[in-house]
Structure formats: C-alpha cells, structure tokens
Amino acid sequence: MYLVDRLLEAGDEVHGMCHSEHGATLLRARHPRAVAHVADLGDSPAIRALVDEVEPTRLFNLAGNTSVARSWEFPAEAADILGVGPIRLLEASWKLSQRTNRPVRMLQASSAEIFGDTTEAPQTEETVRLPVTPYGAAKEFAHEMAGVYRKRGMYVSTAILYNHESPRRPETFVARKIAVAVARIAAGLQETITLGNIEVHRDWGYAPDYVDAMIRIISHPMSGDFIVATGVSHTVREFVAEAFDVAGVSHWEDRVIIDPALYRPADPQTLVGDPSRLRSLGWEPSVSFRQLVRIMVTSELDRLRG
C-alpha cells in the first residue's frame, strides 16, 4: 500500500493484482485512482492475460504470504506462490517484451530468509545462501530464477528485504505483536505477552523506507541484486525492552512468558544486511531502531485511546 501511494504521487498509472475480490475492493476503496485486478499468482493463464492486457513498463512482485510460520504449515503452497509464482510473472513479462519489443522491468521482492544459517554477518549480495525454512527455500527459488532471466537479458532486480515493519503490519509478525500487546499492557487491558525465541537477531527497518528503496532499485539503469537493510541488528529481547520503555511500563521481564511451543522447527539466528550497494543509489534509512519501536508502540497507544 505504501508503494501504491508513492507511485500514484509520481503520476504513474498503477494496476494492482489482488488474489481475491475482497482485496480488490479494499484497494479500490483506499486508492480510487489505482486499477484493481483479481488474479491469483498460482494461475498462469490469468497472469499471462493480465500482463498482456495491462502491458506494464514496470512490474513489482510483492505478492505472497510472507509468514515463515505459515510456510511450515503449507510448504507446497509456499513453494507454488513464492517460488513458481514469480516464474509465471517473469515468463509473462519476458514474452511481453519480446512481443512488443519494449523492455519490461521487474522487481522481485526477495527476503533475508534466503540467507538462513549463513555464518557471514552482515550479509551482502554475494553471501552464500543457506535457507532453513520452506519460506526461505521458496524465496531462494525465485531469487535464483530472477538471476537466470537477468542473464538471458531481461531487466529484473531483486530487493533482498530484511524485516520491515510499520503500524500496517499484521499481528502475526512479532514486531507488531509486541507493539499491540505492550500498548494493551500499558493500558491495563492485559497482563502478559507470550513469545517464542527472543534471542534471535533481526535487522528491523521501517516499511516506507523499504518502498523508497524498491523504487530506487527499479529506476536504476542497471539491474541486479540489492540488500535492503539498516545494517544494524537487535534481538527480539531488545525490541521488547524498548517497547515497554516507550509505553512507560517498568519491570518488563515480569510481563513476558517464553513458550517453547512458539519456537520454530528452524530459525535463522543472525540476519543483518549490509546495504552498501543500495546506499550507492542514494538511499538511507530515515528511521532508527528506537524511532521505529516508538512509531509502532505510539501508534497502538493512539489506537487504544481512539
């Protein structure tokens, strides 16, 4: 949604591909100037028809369920939508550019999860990838396929996105889950929050900054892979402590219950990206870790106060 805002502001004609009629209705309500289409990333003919009809000059693929936890439950679905889905878009774009003799630029949203258990930190575009989750493996599938099409002569870039949060994040993601719970605890609406492994390190950025990065990447004359990260990592524990601090709740350890049932079968331990290549395109994160936590928690506190 942040991306649609930015593209419309720039005067672009924006077409949104939604996988359900419900999603299309939401998009139309929020962005009357964008054109909403219903098509599923698993439906090859529908994608081909849509790409042929719209004839985009730029195509952003941000689609697919982004929950690692869900990918353990539905690994084949994750592979179909996150892995093969981008192939359908790449192939449709490649065929369109051959038919019209006009380049189509594509941006594939890759994920830091492709690095998985890599021992190198911070990670660069060259870091060896060792995905350890069905989500990471599916994302790596698409990442490598983008490389194959680039080598064939197509303009396709990947934005290797690290965790990026905002008040628009669903609550199934830990940062938003923490922000919501901490605000409710501060307001006296609940006593505790239950979390899984809080010792994992993550590189958290602010979603609007990452949208800005994607636009810079696809606007660059040369296609390639780009790490989109702040370069600084924090543990989930630090996020929790900071969130309670913002909300003015002391003795936060008493409010946190660790439930090993929430641990994942496998989880990357230290994901932190080196965004040097992206910085060379003039990008800088506008928000620090502390500011991000403040934005997230304050937004929930405001929501509770109505």
Fill in the per-residue mask, 246 to 285: x = in contact with other proteins (CB under 8 A), - = not in contact.
Answer: -------------------xx-------------------
191 counts as catalytic = no
Segment lying near other proteins (by CB under 8 A), choices 18-26, 32-40, 87-95, 251-259: 87-95
Among 88, 169, 176, 234, the residue binding other proteins under the rule CB under 8 A is 88
| C-alpha 269: how far from chain center | 18
Segment lying near other proteins (by CB under 8 A), choices 127-135, 174-182, 244-252, 274-282: 127-135
Q: CA-to-CA distance for 205 and 88, rounded, in angstroms?
A: 29
DSSP secondary structure of 145-196: HHHHHHHHT--EEEEEE--EE-TTS-TTSHHHHHHHHHHHHHTTS-S-EEES
Q: Are 192 and 185 within 8 A, CB to CB?
A: yes
Nearest to 79 by CA among 46, 41, 117: 41
Nearer to other proteins, 2 or 72 (CB): 72
- 234-235 and 201-202 as β-strands: parallel, antiparallel, unpaired? antiparallel
Residues in 139-178 at the binding interface with other proteins, rule: CB under 8 A: 140-141, 144-145, 147-148, 151-152
26: exposed, middle or buried (Cβ count in 10 Å: 0-12, 13-18, 19+): middle
Q: Which of 93, 97, 135, 140 is catalytic?
A: 135
Fill in the per-residue mask, 12 to 31: x = in contact with other proteins (CB under 8 A), - = not in contact.
Answer: --------------------
Q: CA-to-CA distance for 51 and 100, rounded, in angstroms?
A: 12
113 counts as catalytic = yes
Residues in 42-81 at the binding interface with other proteins, rule: CB under 8 A: 44, 72, 75-76, 79-80
Q: Are 116 and 268 within 8 A, CB to CB?
A: yes
Q: Are 97 and 59 within 8 A, CB to CB?
A: no
Among 55, 98, 128, 284, the residue binding other proteins under the rule CB under 8 A is 128
Nearer to other proteins, 35 or 84 (CB): 84
Among 24, 59, 96, 137, the residue binding other proteins under the rule CB under 8 A is 137
3-state SS class at 110: strand
Q: Which of 93, 97, 113, 300 is catalytic?
A: 113
Q: How many Cα atoms are found within 13 Å in the side-chain-facing hemisphere of 42?
A: 10
Among 56, 64, 134, 268, the residue binding other proteins under the rule CB under 8 A is 134
135 counts as catalytic = yes
Minimum distance between the CB of residue 80 and other proteins, rounded to whole angstroms? 6
Angle made by CA atoms 121, 123, 129, in degrees to the nearest 5: 110
Is residue 84 at the binding interface for other proteins, with CB under 8 A as the rule?
yes
Nearer to other proteins, 134 or 205 (CB): 134
Minimum distance between the CB of residue 98 and other proteins, rounded to whole angstroms? 12
Rounded to whole angstroms, what are the CA distances from 247 to 113, 124, 207, 242? 30, 35, 22, 9
Report the interface residues with other proteins, using CB under 8 A.
Answer: 44, 72, 75-76, 79-80, 83-84, 87-88, 90-91, 128-129, 131-134, 136-138, 140-141, 144-145, 147-148, 151-152, 265-266
- What residues act catalytically? 111, 113, 135
